[in-house]
Each structure stands twice: as C-alpha cells, then as structure tokens.
Amino acid sequence: MKYSLLYFIFLALSLGISAADDKTKKIEMPETFISGDADRGAQLVDSCAACHGADGNSISSDWPKLSGQNQKYLYEQLKYFRDGARMNALMMSVTPYLQTLNDEDLKHIAAYYSKYNSTTGQAKNDQELLDLGTQLYRFGNIKKQIPACTSCHAVYGQGNSLAGYPSVAGQQVGYLTSSLKAYRSKERNAGESSIVMQSIAANLSDYEIDALANYMHGLYQ
C-alpha cells in the first residue's frame, strides 16, 4: 500500500511536469524581421520615384519622405496598401502595381529606401508653436491623456525599428498633419499601432496637431 501511494504521487508529479513542458513548447518567440535586399529593391521603385523622389526624399509637403525610414514600418505599410487595408487617394495610382508584388518584393523596396539619409526640415520660427510642439512631443499632456511622443518615436524622432514605430524626424509637415487628423477621424485604421494612435490623436486639437507637425518636421539628430 505504501509503495502504491508513492507510485501514484510520482505519476501525478510526472504528468504535471509533462503538461508544463507542453505549455512551454507552445510559447512562440516574436518573429524576427528579416531585412530585404536594397539592390533588388532599386529595380522595383520606378513607380514610386515620381512622388517620393529617387532616394525617398519627396519634394511635396503632402508626400511622405521614405528615406531613412525603418524597414519594418515601410514593409508593413506597403502590405496594407497592397492588400487594401490602408487607403489613400495619392496611392491609388500605384496600388495596382503593388498588387503584382509579393512580400519579399516589398521587403526589398523597404530596404532600398531605408539605406538613404532623410533630408532635414526647418520648423517655423513661431515661439508659441515651437513651445507647444516641444511640450507635447517630449512630455505629452497628462490632463488630456496625451502621452509623450518620445515613448515610441524616441527623443530625436528616429522611431523604433524593432517595434516598427516610424521615424518622424524631418518628415513633411503636410503629411504629418494629414496623418494625425486621419488617425483622429479613424480614417487611418490599418494595423495594431493605429489603435494607439487613434486614442492619442482623438485628444489633439487642430492647433496642437499643427504644433506637433511643425516640431517633428524640424527634429533631427
């Protein structure tokens, strides 16, 4: 009887360990982003150059700079456009082209633009606007539940390449403004990070958006 009891205890412990091992095996590590080939990407960007420039530095305030942007973010956005999750009037003309590309092609395009340096911007010399932009970007506004932009986009606006948070330093003012307003209206809703941006932008006034866009445009290392 004594040995039978010990046997059952040992069996129960063994089963418990096995179950724990099975649970451990089911835990999956986050997928590591694999970089694309910039040289191959160079052969795929002819349709992009008209708006974004040959090196990704757009000349229009309404068209985003792609140069120096982190690959994961660019890749994800290109997928959203190709698959119809993200809509934009300016991108409609190239969406049919994107639909001919596979995921690897999009990674190559992202790698191509990320290798270039983004041109710097010049913020408006408006002290009130600069002070507000600085305050919101660096420290947020606790009363309005607006977190500091630095938590995701870093102090100098370089973003977070591992998390896929975009660089905002030197980005075009018009694009920054329209993006924040699109998040505020929930028009821009592709991807998990858009939920975070929607909740933040919902508490921003037009003037605060102008201040942030101005500050980020002139932000660089």
Fold classification of 38-114 (topology level): Cytochrome Bc1 Complex; Chain D, domain 2 (1.10.760)
Question: Among 188, 181, 187, which Cα is nearest to 202's?
Answer: 181
At the top level of CATH, which class does the domain 127-217 belong to? mainly alpha
What are the helix and strand counts (H, E) for the chain? 11, 0
* Contacts of residue 11, Cβ cutoff 8 Å, sequence gap at least 6: none
As a whole number of angstroms, the distance between CA 103 and CA 92 comes to: 19
CB within 8 Å of 68: residues ≥ 6 apart? 56, 113, 114, 116, 117, 118, 167
Task: Give pLDDT tens digits for 38-66.
Answer: 999 999 999 999 999 999 999 999 999 99
**Over the stretch 109-166, which tens digit does the pLDDT of each residue have?**
999 999 999 998 999 999 999 999 999 999 999 999 999 999 999 999 999 999 999 9
Domain boundaries, the chain: 38-114, 127-217
Domains 38-114 and 127-217 are alike in CATH topology: yes
